[in-house]
Every structure is written in C-alpha cells, then in structure tokens.
Amino acid sequence: MFRRDVVSALALSVLLFLAGCTAGVSPTTPSTESTGTGSLEQGVTVTVVDVTDGDTMDVRFANGSTETVRLLGVDTPEVYAENTPSEWDGVPDTQVGRDWLRQWGANASDFAQSELDGERVEIRVDPEADRRGGYGRLLVYLSTTDSERSFNQQLIERGYARLYDTPFSKREAFADTEAAARDTGRGVWGFERTDDQTASSIQDAPLELVEINFDATGNDNENLDDEYLIFENTGSESLDISGWTISDSAGHTYTVPDGVPLAAGARIRLVTGPGTNTESTLYWGEEQALWNNGGDTITVRTENGELALTESYPRTTSSNSLARCNCQSSYSLYVSTSSPSIA
C-alpha cells in the first residue's frame, strides 16, 4: 500500500513538472512577427505562393510559415462575390454596371497573377494602420524589386482598384493617384466614356478593330507572335496611320512608326512581341504578354491625340479570339475560329 502511494505521488510529480515546463508554449506555427529576417515594420522578403484576387494573396516566409495578406489601402472589384456599384463613382447600379465591375475584378486578378505569382516580394505593415483586417488577414504594403512604387499604388494608378478609405500613412498619396486615374478614365473608371466614345468612333473613323487574339496558344509569354490585334481601313481612301497610338487599360502604348499608309479595305496586324515590321504586320516589341485574357480595353488615337476608336472585351467567352462581322451595316464582335486574311 505504501509503495503504491509512493509510485502515485512520483507519477503526479512528473506530470506536474512536465506541465510547468510546457506552460505558455505557443503552437507549432510560428508567428509572423519572427519569420524571416527583419521586422514587418521595416520590411520582410516573402514569396507569393497563391493569388486569390487582385488585392489578396498567400505568401510564404523564409521559415516556411504562410500568411494570407490583404493589400493595404486598396480595393479591387470582387470576382467571387457581388459588387456594389455605388462604391465606384460613375458605374451605374445595373446589371451592365455589375458586369463591368466583375470584368475589372478579373482583370485585376489576372494582373496580380502575372506580376506576383511565384515572385519574391517585400511586405511591410503601416504603424498608422490596423495590423489585421476583418477576416484576420495581414494588412500590408507589397513591393516588387523592379518598381519604386508599391504594388498597392500601382493597382490604383492602372485603374484596377479604388482607394479603400481607412487610416494609413499613405492615404493622401493614394487618393491623388486615384483622382488621376479617374480623370483620365483609366481602367475601371472608363465606364462612362466607353459607350459614347465607341459609338462616335464607329461612325466617324475609317479604322476598325476586326480581331483581338488575346490568348496565345500555350504559354502567352512564350508565344508572343500569337497575341495580336488586326485593324482594317473601312474607308474608301488610303489612311496614313503614322504616329497613331494604340494603348491598353494599363497605359502600355505603342506608336505607329512613320510611313505606314493603309490602303482602302486593307488590314494590318499588330503583334505583341518583337520582330521586323512589314507592310501587313507591325511589332509592338514587348517581352511579355500584353492583353489580359480576362478582359481589357484597346484605345486608338490619331497623331494629334484625337480618339479614333476604343474597344473593350470582357471575360464572356471561352474562345481565345474575337472578330467582327458586318451584320446589317453595324459591326459586332463574335467568336472567331480562324484569322481573317491580311491584305
């Protein structure tokens, strides 16, 4: 009986000792405050392992732990939930307005995917802002090595996002950037201009965009010759397009070189990648894919800066190409299975 009591007491002592040693030990998942080198206030290098949408992504720290981060101070349109058009000045609270926002949410996601997925980036928190958002996501500025501005601000600058108006140190700079994007109708802010400009351009300009091949076969970035636009001179006279500019919603701009006349009824192809220009083909000279597969806006201006045409395509088809048909004297985009011939 005595020995049994002694054994029980010893066992209880061991358990109490172990409990004392392990008290206060945190779970095995390390805190983000101690991951990698440096601190979140000064900036920590991480790897983007998954892009959820334009403003949310998962990152991996140097020690292998992961976090879901939300870009501070910005809001891209929703892709997986309903949008609220009233939050986006100039976008009507209609199905067309909601479709427009959904399209630009997809555009923002595609942009973030192409720029960030698998990349090493720096994230840091803002001492004047909340550390985490409503869903427990870490609120950060995210920066890439090749840009002086944060990716947060680039989203606003390119028209992929609006200012998310909460307290943070860069709020005024972000507000100015949004104002500039809205003034120029860039990206999501171009809704009010699209219909009126397209209508006037179709009536007045002899240049038509007849095909958009936005999704090249295979990897877009490895097949730049298969990403292109095709334009046609629908007028009855030759059209000199020297000095005209073609741009996307992000502001990438191509200027047509001197000496490019387009005969009446002739077509010319603008290829994204590098190459030697010919009478029927121009090469933009980009080293990576340009036109967003999820939707984009093509804007053409004359040498004097006057609008010649603007065309937006949404994420509404599984085809990788859109073309025009002439139906009852009006042009409409339809899915194309083959490329029009080039004159």
Domain identity same for 165 and 299: no
Whether residue 155 lies inside any domain: the answer is yes
Strand order in the sheet with 330-335: 281-283, 267-271, 228-233, 207-213, 321-327, 330-335
**Per-residue model confidence as pLDDT tens digits over 180-213:** 999 888 889 988 654 444 444 434 668 999 999 9
Is 60 considered catalytic here?
no
Return the minimum-mean-pLDDT range out of 73-87, 149-163, 243-257.
243-257
pLDDT interval class at 106 (50, 70, 90): confident
Return the minimum-mean-pLDDT range out of 175-179, 315-319, 327-331.
327-331
- Asked if residue 286 has pLDDT above 60, the reply is yes
pLDDT for residue 2: 41
pLDDT interval class at 257 (50, 70, 90): very high
Domain identity same for 125 and 259: no
Point out the domain boundary residue: 147, 166, 190.
Answer: 190
Task: Tell me the residue range of the domain where 250 lies.
Answer: 205-335
The count of structural domains within the chain is 2
**102, 137, 171, 324: which is the annotated catalytic residue?**
137
Domain identity same for 307 and 273: yes
pLDDT interval class at 54 (50, 70, 90): very high
- Asked if residue 161 has pLDDT above 90, the reply is yes
- Asked if residue 291 has pLDDT above 70, the reply is yes
CATH number where 165 lies: 2.40.50.90
Determine what percent of the chain is predicted with pLDDT higher than 90: 55
Domain identity same for 133 and 77: yes
- Asked if residue 268 has pLDDT above 70, the reply is yes
Domain identity same for 158 and 244: no
For residues 308 and 209, what is the distance between their CA atoms, to the nearest angstrom?
A: 10
CATH number where 271 lies: 2.60.40.1260
pLDDT interval class at 320 (50, 70, 90): low
Whether residue 22 lies inside any domain: the answer is no
Domain identity same for 223 and 118: no
pLDDT for residue 123: 97
Measuring CA to CA, how many Å separate 325 from each of 231, 280, 297?
Answer: 13, 21, 19
Measuring CA to CA, how many Å separate 93 from each of 85, 108, 260, 262?
Answer: 5, 21, 43, 42
- Asked if residue 311 has pLDDT above 90, the reply is no
Point out the domain boundary residue: 138, 158, 190.
Answer: 190
For residues 5 and 1, what is the distance between their CA atoms, to the nearest angstrom?
A: 6
Domain identity same for 136 and 36: yes
Query: Mean pLDDT across the stretch 288-315?
Result: 82
Domain identity same for 114 and 39: yes
Instruction: Choose among 173, 164, 166: nearest CA to 130.
Output: 166
pLDDT for residue 295: 79
Ranked by mean pLDDT, the top range of 18-22, 150-154, 296-300, 303-307 is 150-154
Domain identity same for 115 and 223: no
For residues 182 and 131, what is the distance between their CA atoms, to the nearest angstrom?
A: 29
Point out the domain boundary residue: 190, 215, 250.
Answer: 190
Is 70 considered catalytic here?
yes
pTM score above 0.75? no
Whether 259 contacts 241, CB under 8 Å: no
Domain identity same for 176 and 40: yes
**67, 70, 311, 315: which is the annotated catalytic residue?**
70
Phi-psi region of 16 (alpha: psi -120 to 50; beta: other; left: phi over 0): alpha
Is 78 considered catalytic here?
yes
Structure tokens at 14: 């061991």
**60, 78, 193, 286: which is the annotated catalytic residue?**
78
pLDDT interval class at 279 (50, 70, 90): very high
For residues 57 and 36, what is the distance between their CA atoms, to the nearest angstrom?
A: 18
For residues 228 and 57, what is the distance between their CA atoms, to the nearest angstrom?
A: 30
Domain identity same for 213 and 305: yes
Whether residue 9 lies inside any domain: the answer is no
Whether residue 162 lies inside any domain: the answer is yes
- Asked if residue 307 has pLDDT above 70, the reply is yes
Burial of 340 (0-12, 13-18, 19+ CB in 10 A): middle
Tell me how long the chain is.
343
3-state SS class at 295: coil
Burial of 281 (0-12, 13-18, 19+ CB in 10 A): middle
Domain identity same for 168 and 234: no
pLDDT for residue 178: 96
pLDDT for residue 266: 96
Whether residue 303 lies inside any domain: the answer is yes
The distance of Cα 336 from the centroid of its chain, to the nearest Å, equals 25
For residues 313 and 336, what is the distance between their CA atoms, to the nearest angstrom?
A: 14
**Per-residue model confidence as pLDDT tens digits over 228-239:** 999 999 999 999
- Asked if residue 249 has pLDDT above 90, the reply is no
pLDDT interval class at 5 (50, 70, 90): low
Mean pLDDT taken over the chain: 81
